Structure 1
């Protein structure tokens, strides 16, 4: 009996491997938590929740009560803050290699990184979004700075994330009506893709001027330094991982 209950070497090995895996997973999650906070992603998510609430309130004046109640119930479930955080962090952990992760943390802990995060999170706040929706002035910048901004507009995931957030908020009413009325309001997939392409086409030409406005308080040297980070291997990996993380957060 005692022999049958005794842990054999294979059992001990399996337990050791499981323990090591658990510790590794905890370490990755802790590191991901740090990057999620440092990069401003947590703040951006909070700002998205504010935008979601505002969108729900607008629909309250436009939709029948039963459709509106379905919209609120489903959107609150789909965009539950903790679930969004969990999906985003899981994708970050999967998509970002250790070396890129380490360099990303170093960048966001630097003086420039902290400045960038402050600027970008301010830009997604409700007050800033409302201001920009009223119209961004045409920024007067040098040819050199405009070239830097154009490169940033290509390198940063700002366009795709802007499209993704817009689509998520715009589709709330359609999805709720479709679920409530048994497919009567169902939108074919190609129409959704066309809307996505239309949004992208509308936003893309204005993106360099939008970035000129958002980063207006950075010096030319700081803006160039930011571009160098974004275009580095670690910067590219980080931007791509964050784009995927944001898309996973918005699309359970």
Structure 2
């Protein structure tokens, strides 16, 4: 083969690999959007900004400055999004990614995402500060919610958000103390089991409230999908993506 033909062949292979990589990246970004992950991340940023403003006014100036600086570094939106999408692409096969994308683009998937993103919106979070409004559910619907609760990564992600914020506060305090009295970075992680135990009893009523507008049949279909191979794979990947996004 001549050098010209060899270079042409190498160029064609390289172009093919680039095209394949861009296509995979595009599919991952589409799933990131369609599954509501992008909207949840935007809601997290809004909540973080609100909390930062509130605590900045209450903390000593040195600690407040350190907290805001580290928050901006750790939770930069574009970097969080990049880490989340990279994690998704690693933890989902092409088939799983495409199957999940097809589900979330369906009518049922869109209704589910509308319910889930509404639940993490600043307005809804503020509304639920004093607890979730009690929901009266039938035994059959309660059973469906229980099935769903065993698959959803709600508790895992709740833990990761809480621990990431606790870790941030610990690092900021250590910066202010200058090593004079070091707080162990792993201190927040010691409360993981306790944190989960506190959240778990509230999960059934929370799910009943979040999915209150879904019919029993829709809830059943969602529970079925959550127990499918694709559903399980996606929820595991979503949990990993949230962890990677929050922990650079």
TM-score bucket (shorter structure): over 0.9
1:51 is matched with which residue: 47, 53, 74? 47
1:180 deviates by 3.4
1:39 is matched with which residue: 22, 35, 42? 35
For structure 2, the 5+ residue unaligned runs are none
1 CA distance for matches of 2:206 and 2:182?
A: 35
Name the structure 2 match of 1:130: 126
- Report the number of matched residues: 246
Query: Is the partner of 1:137 in helix, strand or coil?
Result: coil
Equivalences for residues 123-202 of structure 1 within 5 A: 123-183=119-179, 184-189=181-186, 191-202=187-198
Name the structure 2 match of 1:111: 107
Q: Is the 8 A contact 1:153 1:159 kept in 2?
A: no
2 CA distance for matches of 1:15 and 1:181?
A: 56
1 CA distance for matches of 2:19 and 2:183?
A: 46
1:18 deviates by 2.7
1:224 is matched with which residue: 215, 220, 225? 220
The superposition leaves residues 41-91 of structure 1 with CA deviations (integer Å, 9 ceiling, x where unpaired) of 110000000111122122213311011011101111111100111111111
Aligned-pair Cα RMSD in Å: 1.7
Name the structure 2 match of 1:210: 206
Name the structure 2 match of 1:92: 88
1 CA distance for matches of 2:198 and 2:30?
A: 35
Q: Is the 8 A contact 2:171 2:185 kept in 1?
A: no
1:238 deviates by 0.9
| Residue range with higher mean Cα deviation, 167-176 or 133-142 | 167-176
Q: Is the 8 A contact 2:166 2:188 kept in 1?
A: no
2 CA distance for matches of 1:89 and 1:172?
A: 22
2 CA distance for matches of 1:59 and 1:175?
A: 16
Q: Is the 8 A contact 1:100 1:238 kept in 2?
A: yes
Q: Structure 2-normalised TM-score?
A: 0.93
Query: Is the partner of 2:224 in helix, strand or coil?
Result: helix
Q: Is the 8 A contact 2:116 2:210 kept in 1?
A: yes
| Residue range with higher mean Cα deviation, 114-123 or 12-21 | 12-21
2 CA distance for matches of 1:104 and 1:50?
A: 27
| Residue range with higher mean Cα deviation, 167-176 or 108-117 | 167-176
Name the structure 1 match of 2:19: 23
1:182 deviates by 2.9
2 CA distance for matches of 1:120 and 1:136?
A: 14
